[in-house]
A and B are shown apart, each in its own frame.
Chain A
Amino acid sequence: MEPADILDQNHELSLREFPYIVRWRDDRCTRCGRCTAVCPVNAIEAAPHVHRRVFSEGGSPNPQASREIVHVVRQVTDIERYCTGCGTCTLVCPNEAIEPEYNPRNKFLTYKNVGGVPFRRGGRRNDPTPSTVDQLKFTRISMLTDPALDAGRHEFRIRTLLGRNLPPEALPLKRRGDRLVVGKTAVRPAFSALGANQSEPGFIPPVREIYPIRIGSMSIGALSPHMWEGLAMGVAYLNEVEGMPVVMCTGEGGMPPRLLKSRFAKYFILQIASGYFGWDEIIHAIPEMTEDPAAIEIKYGQGAKPGDGGLLMAYKVLKLIAQIRGVPEFVDLASPPTHQTKYSIEEAVAKMIQSMSMAWGFRVPVYPKISGTKTAMAVLNNLARNPYAGALCIDGEDGGTGAAYNVSMDKMGHPIASNIRDCYLDLVAQGKQNELPLIAAGGMGKTGNLAANAAAMIMLGASAVDMGKHIMQAAAWCFGDEYNRCNLCNTGRCPRGITTQDPRLYRRLDPDVVAQRVVDVFKSADVELRKIFAPLGRSTELPIGMSDALGVADESIAERLKISYVC
């Protein structure tokens, strides 16, 4: 038996327990030091190694050995400095000498709880398998008896409606000869009581015609100023130059007041959540606003961390963030998991919807966002009875976040496909599927198939989809993936400069380039949507609920979603 004194590293981890192992090549490395300097978690460091060198000099073999001290790049075995696999080292290496390699046999989660603190991170659910949405195919191809459309030639209207649509029976229309005219309409609904059809006759709820793929809620604060600015510029360009009415949601964090008062405000959905961050500034700006916002989103839940609150760490609350949010600098900003308006959907939530509606004179659609849940239909039915609810956004388990406990992200939540399908069919049974739009979020574009995911959700019954993580990856080269790569959003050390308030990091990100990529993403998704809708023979209105077009090679999914099983 070996003596105990040589096992003095017994309580250290070996690299095999780590999720990523750094492959470093001595022969290629020039010791420039860029990799160690750039590593966001200090997982690698320059270290001295003693090398034994055998050499021979002279005309006949005369092997001799010497010992030399050389500098190497070494991966540390401190779990707090684990290699996240982001690959920034590879990116900056001039000689392809270093690269992290995923270790599928890692035991990372077993150890990442030092000090009793569970693993926390950003990103989305670490499950690289295709989601249900990703397994859906479009199988009703128009052939011979039913000519397909030409994606390049025919007129396509890829638009959706955000806001409450009145049932046709309730439209204030009057017949005047052979024409229909709009009768007397009320500016706002009556406040007498809540419940079905309580609005004053003739009140027409506000509705926006928007692009069916939206940029979901990501706040200034969670995002760096450059990232948020890039997204905002991209959205403005899409609207004003490309004619695509794309909207983005601010997340809970307000908006720069100057932008809020500008003509660009109409491209933004203002989000209010339990912390009400930014709303002091927003309320003060209302009298000076020249345009109404696209909508108001009341966040009650988030797919990535259902039932969990938000927290913007103190070190992210720099001057700009503090000003926009109306808070002191360098204090933790907690959005509680629960809302004071959450206690009763019949009263408190309804009042919240009414308050928000009233703030903009009932000219702006107001809707709640919840995390995917088995109870979504109960929420839906309450909203269906509330004539002022403008939509319901459901964020599925594959939604992303800037910071959450790993257990919340990986194990909590509801897949979006069946959640949306159940809700849609529930509305169909009530004949209200066109009245209350459903917005699907969570995992859209998870494997890069943004347009296909969006089209599949639309055919399951969604009126629109939100993307978050996908646009960070596609427009700003976010490293994060479902192998827990990078996912450092919560630390403020985002190596791409996306989710950090550190100017040394976010200056790496050029807002103009981000904006260009946003435009690229939407324009290419638009082409792909046409390529999906045209062979199905649809182009005039969005094929919401066209479930006969969908097929899946999994009988249980087909049965659950009430679509075709194909193989």
Chain B
Amino acid sequence: MCRLSAITSAEYFSPMENVMALNTMKEGHDGSGLGLVLRDLGGDFESLKQYPVLSGICSRDGLNMLDAFMMTAGFREVHFWEPDIDASAPLPELGQRDHYFARAYEYPPAMKNRSQADREELLLDTRLALRELGEENESIFVFSFYPDTITLKEVGDPLELGRFFRLDDGSLEAKIVLAQGRQNTNYDIYLYACHPFFLQGYCTMTNGENTAFVPIMEFLTGRGFPGYMGYNSDSEVFAHILHYTQRQLGYPLTYYKDVMTPLSEAEIDGRKDAAALRLIRRSLRPLCIDGPNCIIGFTPDGSVFMTQDAKKLRPGVVGGVPGKYALMSEECGLDEAVPERDKTQDFSPMKYDMAIIKPGAGELKRWNQLTY
């Protein structure tokens, strides 16, 4: 079983806080990987928020290919980050890669007066092209290419990786960090299978198995959106369902829950938006999940949420203080991340619930599917 650790804060903080929280939950993961997504960046990237950041891993050859590709595509590098590797820390399980990087680029000149949608389309196309370029010989892994976002993934124990990357050296900070400590189950250890998954500002990580994976994956790939691909993990669809319902269909965030765990006919009757819900339930029927899944994610505006499937559920708890909230798999993770909170206010979302924390981490909103 994987372990999840998300923190949202009004202030910038180090992703090492997430890693330390993961470490307290070590009984729940086998140290087979760490995935990190940082959003609303601080540190060196605080002044670079308008520039898209390409995050990934590559070999020496891969870096040459990547540079050549980006130059041809018209992207000009404005900032370069590589972790200051701690040589005394244990190496990652598959050895040290040549380059771990996060690079901020200036958009190609042709994009100067183009819309946000056009720019997002270019960033996606570029990321997918780079993925294709380096996927076969594993010379290039690119996890995200989006403004104000950095993704870091590697195979190994989260705490050892945190030390290896010197995540506490202050060079990387953010107001939202999602981290997953991986428990490898059904699939080979593969970086593209590692959570969290990010697409155009939408990000999720999941604990559990997705029994409805194939019909969901087939439905998403049929939408004709190029970013709905990959699926090296059955959990990647959760990020894409979020993207599809929010960005493509324009639904409010809470409908993410309504799509994945639709209410019964009788339950729908109690909702003010019953007519809309009925149509959604029919037309998005293939996106229904049956769990067991605890899903933590964020949307482009910086809202962070946790929700569950409707029957099996996986461990998940939310708690914090105004200004800092944590969404964890276990209480011990919360204790590590926000020890000063009022524990009686901790919230474990159940069958109908969704925990939502708006940007700035001011308060925890408990949304209930039945009483909305």
Q: Which residue numbers of A lie inside 8 Å of B, CB to CB? A: 142, 145-147, 149, 154-155, 157, 161, 165-169, 171, 173, 175, 178-182, 204, 207, 209, 428-434, 536-541, 543-548
Contacts and interface: CB of A to CB of B under 8 A. Distances in A.
B208 interface: yes
Contacts of B265: 209
B285 to A, nearest CB: 5
5 contacts: A145-B1, A145-B209, A434-B219, A538-B290, A546-B214
A175 B212 CA distance: 28
A162 B9 CA distance: 48
B214 A545 contact: yes
A546 B215 contact: yes
B285 A182 contact: no
Contacts of B223: 431
Interface of B: 1, 185-186, 208-209, 211-215, 218-219, 221-224, 248-252, 254-255, 261-262, 264-265, 272-273, 275-277, 279-280, 282-286, 288-292, 310-312
Nearest to A181: B276
A541 B283 contact: no
Contacts of A432: 222
A433 B264 contact: no
A424 to B, nearest CB: 9
A544 B224 CA distance: 20
Which of B286, B288, B290 has the most C-beta atoms of chain A within 10 angstroms of its own C-beta? B290
A557 to B, nearest CB: 18
B279 A434 contact: no
A171 B279 CA distance: 7
Contact of B249 (A165, A168, A434): A168
Given A430-B222, A431-B224, A147 B261 contact: no
B214 A180 contact: no
A540 B288 contact: yes
B281 to A, nearest CB: 9
Contacts of A175: 250-252
Contacts of B224: 431
Given A165-B283, A181-B276, A433-B222, 8 more contacts: A142-B211, A175-B251, A179-B273, A182-B275, A431-B221, A544-B285, A546-B212, A546-B215
A146 B211 contact: yes
A431 B285 contact: no
Contacts of A149: 290, 311-312
Nearest to B309: A540
A429 B286 CA distance: 15
Contact of A428 (B209, B213, B222, B311): B222
Contacts of A147: 292, 312
A180 B290 contact: no
B262 A145 contact: no
Nearest to A142: B211
Given A145-B185, A540-B288, A547 B279 contact: no
Contacts of B282: 161, 165-166, 207
Given A178-B254, A204-B279, A146 B292 contact: yes
B285 A173 contact: no
A18 to B, nearest CB: 51
Which of B279, B288, B312 has the most C-beta atoms of chain A within 10 angstroms of its own C-beta? B279
A172 to B, nearest CB: 8
B229 to A, nearest CB: 14
Contacts of B288: 540-541
B81 to A, nearest CB: 36
Given A146-B209, A178-B252, A545-B214, A171 B280 contact: yes
Contacts of A543: 212, 215
A171 B283 contact: yes
A538 B214 CA distance: 12
A264 to B, nearest CB: 21
Contacts of A434: 219, 283-286
Contacts of A182: 275-276, 279
A179 B222 contact: no
B283 A433 contact: no
A214 to B, nearest CB: 18
A181 B278 CA distance: 11
B262 A180 contact: no
Contacts of A537: 209, 211, 290-291, 312
A540 B262 contact: yes
**CB-CB nearest 10 A-B residue pairs:** A431-B222, A537-B211, A146-B209, A180-B276, A541-B288, A182-B275, A168-B283, A548-B214, A545-B215, A178-B252
